[in-house]
């Protein structure tokens, strides 16, 4: 089904020029390197361009999907109907904004890479972001996913966020009104929901503590080395594929115990290094990934009576 007609394509071309591509393979924009074409793929150069695009899409009743770094996304082979918006060209500044009660606030825009925020904090001698080292993706994606590791979560350091509401205006939401849970930020009560695709995170304000830069750097090296030793960081993946069950064994341990390390369907492979990573060992399709995901789920369900839920967002037609 094609949603984007010639008139819409012309409007997008005239308004966005080199910042829009049509029938753009999403395999080029996802860390798994799979996924069919988006009807249009737009990288707005400034906030005003994003606002214009959002208002126009709403009027034209076109579906849109805002993506971060595409690092937690499995796009189906038939691609995505409508418009995909990536914020990595705009909204990528990070700056100190003030200090209060012994801490320092840092504002990071949604399109900035999370590792840039971690590096910024270390360079400024600010403690609090090291938990996020090695997590791929953008600040906006990490906020929406409440990204985290055993060392901490986004909810530990976020003070407030700015959202783009459906009419195109921005709105600030304080931490108290943000509903965080495991790998999820729920924004139901922010009056900015407005249907599929909303709200859009524009930035986050982080509250960090002054600390010793050398100590932070040493801790960072240890965290990154541990990650490299236990995870297949050298192959295309979307990080951990399944959420960990609320209690008991981790998803990786369950898939490992099921004997599925090294299991391969097409180019999709359950990492022999860490069983909660489904990697693209070369030439995988989204179909291969989904088939391997189902194999892992069904096997774990049969053996342990535990239903694994993907952490990776599956999108597309
Ligand atoms: N384990 C196995 N076999 C495996 C993998 C793990 O037996 O193949 C065992 C480990 O030995 C350990 C336990 O399972 O006893 C937990 O494993 P690990 O320490 O690797 O942590 P995890 O729960 O699998 C979580 C996050 C990761 C994060 C690491 C380190 C989730 C779903 N995953 O993994 O996050 O990097 O902790 O902090 O919460 C991600 O979200 O993309 C991600 C990779």
Note the pLDDT tens digit of each residue in 118-132.
999 999 999 999 999
Q: How far apart are CA 309 and CA 180, in angstroms?
A: 18
- Residue 234 DSSP one-character state: T
Note the pLDDT tens digit of each residue in 244-282.
999 999 999 999 999 999 999 999 999 999 999 999 999
In this structure, the strands spanning 148-149 and 152-153 are antiparallel
For ligand 1, pick from 232, 253, 272 the residue to mutate: most ligand atoms within 8 Å of CB. 253
pLDDT at 191 over 80: no
Q: Give the residue whose CA is nearest to atom 12 of ligand 1.
A: 253
CB 80 within 8 Å of CB 39: yes
* Tokens (6 digits) for 236: 């295309």
Confidence of residue 165 (pLDDT cuts 50, 70, 90): confident
Give the 3-state secondary structure of residue 117.
helix
Whole-model pTM: value is: 0.93
Whole-angstrom Cα Rg for the chain:
20
Rounded to the nearest angstrom, the distance between the alpha carbon of 285 and the centre of ligand 1 is: 25
For the chain, give the percent of residues with pLDDT over 70: 96
Identify the burial level of 277 via C-beta atoms within 10 angstroms of its C-beta, where 0-12 means exposed, 13-18 middle and 19 or more buried. Answer: buried
Confidence of residue 199 (pLDDT cuts 50, 70, 90): confident
Q: Is the CB of 311 under 6 A from ligand 1?
A: yes
Q: Is the CB of 270 under 6 A from ligand 1?
A: no
* Tokens (6 digits) for 34: 């799979």
* Tokens (6 digits) for 113: 């890479």
- Ligand 1 atom nearest to CA at 150: 38
How far from 149 is each of 130, 155, 283, CA to CA, in Å? 10, 12, 29
Q: Is the CB of 243 under 6 A from ligand 1?
A: yes
Q: How far apart are CA 98 and CA 92, in angstroms?
A: 19
Q: Is the CB of 76 under 6 A from ligand 1?
A: no
Rounded to the nearest angstrom, the distance between the alpha carbon of 211 and the centre of ligand 1 is: 28
Return the axis-axis angle of helices 114-123 and 213-230, rounded to nearest 10°.
Answer: 150
Note the pLDDT tens digit of each residue in 33-60.
999 999 999 999 999 999 999 999 988 9
Q: How many CB atoms lie within 10 A of CB 302?
A: 9
Position 140 scores a pLDDT of 95
**At a CB cut-off of 8 Å and minimum separation 6, what does 222 contact?**
none
Alpha-carbon torsion (206, 211, 217, 223), positive or negative: negative
Mean pLDDT of 206-213: 97
In this structure, the strands spanning 264-265 and 148-149 are unpaired
In this structure, the strands spanning 184-186 and 37-42 are unpaired
Confidence of residue 183 (pLDDT cuts 50, 70, 90): confident
Q: How far apart are CA 247 and CA 139, in angstroms?
A: 28
Q: Is the CB of 239 under 6 A from ligand 1?
A: yes
Residues annotated as catalytic (active site), given as ranges:
183, 240, 311
pLDDT at 190 over 80: no
CB 231 within 8 Å of CB 135: no
Note the pLDDT tens digit of each residue in 80-117.
999 999 998 999 999 999 999 999 999 999 999 999 99
pLDDT at 163 over 50: yes
Calculate the average pLDDT of the chain: 94
Q: How many CB atoms lie within 10 A of CB 74?
A: 22
Note the pLDDT tens digit of each residue in 278-309.
999 999 999 999 999 999 999 999 999 999 99
Q: Is the CB of 183 under 6 A from ligand 1?
A: no
């Amino acid at each position: 089904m094609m949603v984007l007609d010639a008139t819409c394509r012309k409007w997008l071309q005239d308004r966005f020029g080199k910042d829009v591509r049509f029938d753009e393979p999403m395999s080029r924009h996802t860390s798994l390197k799979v996924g069919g074409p988006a009807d249009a793929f737009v990288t707005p150069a400034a906030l005003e361009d994003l606002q214009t695009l959002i208002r126009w899409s709403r009027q034209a009743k076109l579906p849109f999907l805002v993506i971060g770094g595409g690092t937690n996304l499995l796009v189906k082979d038939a691609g995505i109907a409508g418009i995909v918006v990536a914020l990595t060209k705009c909204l990528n500044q990070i700056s100190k904004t003030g200090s209060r009660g012994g801490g320092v606030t840092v504002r990071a825009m949604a399109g900035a890479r999370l590792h840039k925020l971690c590096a910024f904090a270390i360079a400024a001698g600010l403690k609090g972001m090291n938990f996020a080292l090695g997590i791929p993706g953008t600040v906006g994606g990490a906020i929406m996913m409440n990204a985290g590791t055993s060392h901490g979560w986004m909810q530990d350091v976020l003070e407030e966020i700015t959202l783009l509401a459906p009419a195109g205006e921005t709105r600030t939401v304080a931490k108290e009104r943000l509903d965080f849970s495991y790998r999820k930020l729920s924004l139901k009560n922010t009056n900015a929901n407005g249907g599929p695709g909303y709200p859009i995170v524009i930035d986050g304000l982080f509250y960090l503590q002054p600390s010793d830069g050398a100590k932070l750097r040493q801790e960072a090296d240890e965290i990154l080395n541990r990650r490299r030793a236990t995870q297949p960081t050298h192959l295309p993946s979307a990080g951990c594929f399944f959420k960990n069950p609320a209690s008991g064994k981790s998803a990786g341990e369950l898939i490992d115990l099921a004997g599925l390390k090294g299991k391969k369907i097409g180019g999709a492979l359950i990492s022999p290094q860490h069983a909660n990573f489904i990697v693209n060992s070369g030439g995988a399709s989204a179909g291969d990934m989904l088939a391997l995901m189902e194999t892992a789920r069904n096997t774990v369900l049969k053996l342990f009576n535990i239903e694994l839920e993907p952490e990776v967002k599956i999108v597309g037609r």
